[in-house]
A and B are shown apart, each in its own frame.
Chain A
């Protein structure tokens, strides 16, 4: 199985006139094609920064980030799903979906064709002529995901895409998004501070520490492989994994700082197991 995302000893430091702030410290992990990798950690720990590195919006201070074997800024293979749907109210849903194609000057007719197929596939047939304000929160998020999928990315970066939804909608949308990502055989990196969501969706979960951000532990969730979120939540294994991740999140930073050097090895091991 091919590695689609590789982080090799990535460090990122922000420089201001007065000081240097380390944001990411020595981060190494990899995500295989078709894998759903979760990143959990406290708010403001730099989770979003990891996504920005994968998409090539920012570059590491040292170390290497590769997507599809290339530098991210040279290959445009990742797409985002953000915290809010960010649909533009003055555009119809179709015009919103085609925004990316428009900005990247891609073939609009082909994108429109693909959009119509995706809309039909995910129960949104007929909404293309309407405006976003006529949709429910769940439908809006699905439209937003289709906006990303239309660009045919190989990697989807999910930046807390459910945190703005109310509880009930969230359960539904987590299920929908999981189904869509798996049906489209997407590789995804999912950033959240909600352990439940991470276990519900992911194949592996990396626990991040706060600044400087580094990986404390990578927890393997491959026992749930292919099982949709709703069923995962009612399994006994769910609680055990929850506890494991929570303990890891709460463990003291100094301890994990030492063990962190070993983490890449474990991560590769579990990745390998995962990918059979």
Chain B
């Protein structure tokens, strides 16, 4: 499928049906890739973006799950905050771009905050949903055994929520990429998002397309890493997903 797509792309540009100045072409991208690799630019920009994405992914997941646990624990906080979270979630976070830049400065931290904002709220909402959907009967079992709240959390709520939390992780991988690239569009001196914007500005579509393809590959790899983790944990916790 992917090979056919690139083959067709290459053929159409070679025949002149597509203007390779506007659409670039796989062969030109390969040349650009080698060039960028040799100058060390490629690895540098990949490294920057990957680091930003992984950091915001880990932060969003950890903070989101922690916040969800806190809301599960305290019912009154949940009742007060849940509607606000839903409203916040529907806000396009990119609108907060200028505010973020002014508050945390135009640097890497702004990019990470941007990515965090995009995935944090949805992580909280989805994890909380997972915690609250634990079967009534199992909660009753724990109540009849007079389990403490901490015991219920660690021995029932968290293990039961693992399949849902895994789904949250998968969504977060995607969202962290969105957030990071969006952040890089706003402020950055390095990274694949920077490369794309830079290529666009100087009308070098080879750079834009090359960086985009590299981005796709990286996102796919990170997604697979999460899938592998899920399989390993799934085996331990007897969930076949």
Given contacts A103-B145, A103-B155, whether A84 and B238 have CB atoms under 8 Å apart is no
Q: Find out whether the CB atom of A88 lies under 8 angstroms from the CB atom of B156.
A: yes
Instruction: Please provide the chain A residues from 87 to 142 with a CB less than 8 Å away from any CB of chain B in the complex.
Output: 88-90, 99-100, 102-104, 131, 133
Q: Which residue of A lies closest to B152 (CB)?
A: A103
Report yes or no: B137 in contact with A104, Cβ–Cβ below 8 A.
Answer: no
Q: Which residue of B lies closest to A102 (CB)?
A: B155
Q: Closest 7 CB pairs between A and B?
A: A80-B144, A90-B237, A86-B141, A103-B147, A90-B238, A89-B238, A103-B145
15 A-B pairs with CB atoms under 8 Å apart are A57-B144, A76-B146, A79-B144, A80-B141, A82-B140, A82-B144, A86-B141, A89-B237, A90-B159, A99-B145, A102-B155, A103-B142, A103-B147, A133-B238, A157-B144
The answer to the question of A260 belonging to the interface, with a C-beta cut-off of 8 Å to chain B, is no
Give chain A residues whose Cβ lies under 8 Å from the Cβ of B239.
Answer: 89-90
Q: How large is the interface on A (under 10, 10 to 19, 20 to 34, 35 or more residues)?
A: 20 to 34
Q: Kindly state whether residue A169 has any CB partner on chain B within 8 Å.
A: no
Asked if A210 lies at the interface with its beta carbon under 8 angstroms from chain B, I say no
A175 contacts chain B at the CB level, 8 A cutoff: no
Q: Produce 1/0 per residue, B12-38, CB < 8 A to A.
A: 000000000000000000000000000
The minimal Cβ–Cβ distance linking B84 to chain A, given in whole angstroms, is 25
Task: State in angstroms the CA–CA spacing of A76 and B141 once bound together.
Answer: 15
- Interface residues of B, CB < 8 Å — how many? 22
Q: Is B133 an interface residue (CB 8 A)?
A: no
B156: nearest chain-A partner, CB-CB: A88
Closest Cβ of chain A to B161, distance in Å, is 11
Smallest CB-CB separation from B138: which chain A residue?
A86
* Least Cβ–Cβ distance between A149 and chain B, in angstroms: 13
Q: Quote the shortest CB–CB distance from B226 to chain A (angstroms).
A: 20
- In angstroms, Cα B236 to Cα A88, docked, is 13
Chain A residues near B160: list those with CB within 8 A.
88
Report if B151 contacts A (CB, 8 A): yes
User: Is A274 engaged at the interface, CB distance under 8 Å to the other chain?
Assistant: no
Contacting pair B159 A84 (CB below 8 A) = no
Interface digits, B32-57 against A, CB 8 Å rule (1 contact, 0 not)? Answer: 00000000000000000000000000
In the bound complex, residues from chain B placing their C-beta under 8 Å from that of A30 are none
Residue A55 lies at the interface, judged by CB distance under 8 Å to chain B: yes
Q: How far is the CB of A38 from chain B (nearest CB, A)?
A: 19
In the bound complex, what is the Cα–Cα distance between A253 and B224 (angstroms)?
65
Q: Kindly identify, within residues 135 to 168 of chain B, every residue whose CB is under 8 Å from any CB belonging to chain A.
A: 135, 137-138, 140-148, 151, 155-156, 159-160, 162
CB distance from B215 to the nearest CB of A (A): 36
Binary flags per residue of A186-201, CB closer than 8 Å to B gives 1, else 0:
0000000000000000
Cβ-based interface call for A83 (8 A):
yes
